[in-house]
Amino acid sequence: MGFWRTEDPVMDFDGRVPKVIKGGMWSHQREWWALQNFIKLLVGGYGSGKSEIICKWSIAGALHNAPSWSAIVSPSFPQARRTIIPTLTRLLNGKMTVRKDMRWRHNKSDHTFTIDIECRPQATILYLSGDDPDSLKGPNLGQAALDEPFIQQFAVFEQMISRLRDPQAQLIQMGMAGTPEQLNWGYELVEGELKDRYDVGYVNADTRANLALPKGYAERLIKGFDPKAAEAYVQGRFVNLSKGRVFYGFDRDRNVKRIAPYSAVHFVGMDFNVNPMSFVVGWHQGNRAHIYAEYELPNSDTEYACSIIREKHPEVRLVFPDPSGRARHTNAPGGASDFTWIARAGLVVMAPIASWARRDSYNALNHMYADGRLTIDPDCKRLIRYLQEHTHELMTRQASMTHLLDAHRYPITYLFPVHRPSSNVSQIQGA
């Protein structure tokens, strides 16, 4: 798809506003353009050139795949009239100045742009609104683009994926470009569980990478935003913008690592709950700890969880459970307590007689995270997402997250408390 110039734009920086002498692509746009994945994703700050590259790609793809149709989905038709439609119009008008064999037409009633080049099939770009995902059902497509996808529903993404099936198309691909909006499905596609379900290529773009912006634009944004908002809307990174993160010491760059243990003690942290029954597997060595596996077992019980531990993690002997399990019976047969079932599995229960104060437990983990002494394996995608999303502000609506978070909290609080207790600790030895 060599329809556009891919070198850096030629610029005139003498005036107050930089002037583009000859168009092109900035390095992040070029990197995104070159991705061969089925889904190619550009996540960038304000003004980083996302709509520009989406429109260039859609025009080139429509011509490449013609007569197979291409489509662009905006969050709404009013937004399309402010962004996609004027950008397509400007780009096509500009191209006509150098391609005398080219003509184009905007049919507003059909929501289409058609492009005609001599001796080539007519190319068609359909622009759609994502405000009603069911309305997106229609003919087969060769290429689809989502503009600002992360303020659209996940159902929009699913609908458009299902339409990419035109046998006439030479290239079947989805392109997306948008600003990160909280830790929603976009984050899941880039870093979470959805990443494993799709072939995704990802490029991050900073506002400051677009040298055609007015002087001081990015600096004004940074001054106007708090640091977290600037990280999202200038640096183009997925961050939790809710107030009061519970595990504020956790930082993805610092605390997500793949580390092989050496002469370490392996353990399980377990929360007793029927749906889901949650536990993590990790190791500790000296003054550091690492979590390398996570489990959320629906409609389960302690006995079954222990069988999973013995089967998949024979290296584990120590279990740090919810201290309330001494008396609780999590749907287990025979009326035995949760602690009893752990001991019967040949595992050692490590738990205080009374639960820690939540504040002390949170402080212990935040201290470990901030020091870089507690790390999480990148395969623990749910735990990582929960750590980033869980806030005091939204805690009552995030109850489903707490089971896995508590499971990882118990061993760390026991092993590395803010104030290590000298008594009130019990140990139940298994068989």
Domains belonging to the chain, first-starting first, are 10-233 (3.40.50.300), 252-428 (3.30.420.280)
* pLDDT of res. 392: 75
Yes or no: say if 416 and 287 are a contact pair by the CB < 8 Å rule.
yes
* pLDDT of res. 424: 42
Burial of 357 (0-12, 13-18, 19+ CB in 10 A): exposed
The structure tokens 């000298």 sit at 422
- Rounded to 5°, angle at Cα 184 from 50 and 369: 110
In 3D space, the residue among 59, 78, 76 whose CA is nearest the CA of residue 116 turns out to be: 59
Task: Give phi and psi for 250, each to the nearest 5.
Answer: -75, 130
Please say whether the dihedral angle defined by the alpha carbons of residues 312, 313, 315 and 321, taken in this order, is positive or negative.
negative
What is this structure's pTM? 0.69
Distance CA 269, CA 291 (A): 9
* pLDDT of res. 296: 93
Task: Give phi and psi for 382, each to the nearest 5.
Answer: -70, -45
Burial of 29 (0-12, 13-18, 19+ CB in 10 A): buried
* pLDDT of res. 18: 84
Distance CA 340, CA 404 (A): 21
Tens of each residue's pLDDT in the chain, 431 residues? 778 999 999 988 887 778 888 889 999 999 999 999 999 999 999 999 999 999 999 999 999 999 999 999 999 999 999 999 999 999 999 998 888 899 999 999 999 999 999 989 999 999 999 999 999 988 899 999 999 999 899 999 999 999 999 999 999 999 999 998 777 888 889 887 788 899 999 999 999 999 989 888 999 888 888 787 888 889 998 887 666 788 988 998 999 999 988 889 999 999 987 778 999 999 999 999 999 999 999 888 899 999 999 999 999 999 999 887 665 555 555 556 888 999 999 999 999 888 887 888 888 899 899 899 999 999 999 999 999 888 876 655 567 788 999 999 999 999 998 754 333 444 444 33
